[in-house]
Structure 1
Amino acid sequence: MARHIITTANAPTSPLYSQGVKAGSHVFVSGTAGIDPSTGSLVESTIQAQTRQALTNCEAILHAAGASLDDVIEVGVLLANPTDFTGLNEEYARWFPSEPPTRYVAKLGPELPGLLVSIRMTAFTE
């Protein structure tokens, strides 16, 4: 099965990893932070704002792969501060209001200045 690298100007980029990879019917979105792709900087310093931007970035990568949030089957969330769990859930529930995908939340390993959350996704398209 061939893999196709997914890129979009509507999400942050890095030379160290692909924004996404499509393999068959699966789309894998790399861990994405709350970085505004137009400025290359983190958005506001609240967990809600960074979660919203990270999800916006993930959605842009999904769209570049021909998928949508409705196709997401798993979400992985890494939090810098476990105390931000409630704020994360406040914003996350707006994006997946019913029948959400599977999800895990863990503590982010490296301490990166200002970074509160990183979100990755797997989607399945037919």
Structure 2
Amino acid sequence: MPQYVFTEEAMPPLPVFSQATVSKGFVFASGNIGITKEWKLVEGGVKEQTRAALRNLEIVLKASGSSLQHIVKVNVYIRDFAEFSGMNEAYAEFFEKDKMPARTCVGVASLPFNAAVEIECTAELI
């Protein structure tokens, strides 16, 4: 049976999904955008929103029994591909250069709270 993850340290999920689900040795983390615990979009554009989303994923993964270093697949949803390089700069701060997880980046028309980026991942349990 899957385990459903909740930690007060991370952004609370909306009532229709969990922060992450643990099943068969993997953590499936829900999408994260760069918002504060007060549900306000962080200032600073795509770079700061990418950092905030990844910091929140880091907290959720830790509560799930994993870490950023154990991510095997990332999906990034970006509203404007003109901001792709800024997102990549911030994203690269969180991973070792030669140990980047597999990743897909998809352009989307809109995201919750009009966010610039949303990030979800799958990670192995430690």
When normalised by structure 2's length, the TM-score is: 0.91
Question: Which runs of 5 or more structure 1 residues have no equivalent in the other structure?
Answer: none
Q: How does 1:57-76 map to 2 (within 5 A)?
A: 57-76=56-75
Cα distance change of structure 1 residues 108 and 66 upon mapping to structure 2, 3 Å threshold: same
Cα root mean square deviation, aligned: 1.4
After alignment, is 8-17 or 47-56 more displaced? 8-17
Q: Supply the AA of the counterpart residue of 1:91.
A: A
Q: Name the SS for the 1:105 alignment partner.
A: strand
After alignment, is 87-96 or 39-48 more displaced? 39-48
Please give the alpha-carbon distance, in whole angstroms, between the structure 2 residues aligned to 1:109 and 1:20: 25
Q: Detail structure 1 runs of 4+ shifted over 2 Å in the superposition.
A: 108-114
Residue 117 of structure 1: aligned partner: 117
Cα distance change of structure 1 residues 41 and 124 upon mapping to structure 2, 3 Å threshold: same
Please give the alpha-carbon distance, in whole angstroms, between the structure 2 residues aligned to 1:34 and 1:4: 25
Q: How many residues align?
A: 124
Please give the alpha-carbon distance, in whole angstroms, between the structure 2 residues aligned to 1:66 and 1:111: 28
* % identical equivalent positions: 33
Please give the alpha-carbon distance, in whole angstroms, between the structure 2 residues aligned to 1:111 and 1:70: 26
Residue 29 of structure 2: aligned partner: 29
Question: Which runs of 5 or more structure 2 residues have no equivalent in the other structure?
Answer: none
CA contact (8 A) 2:78 2:105 kept: yes
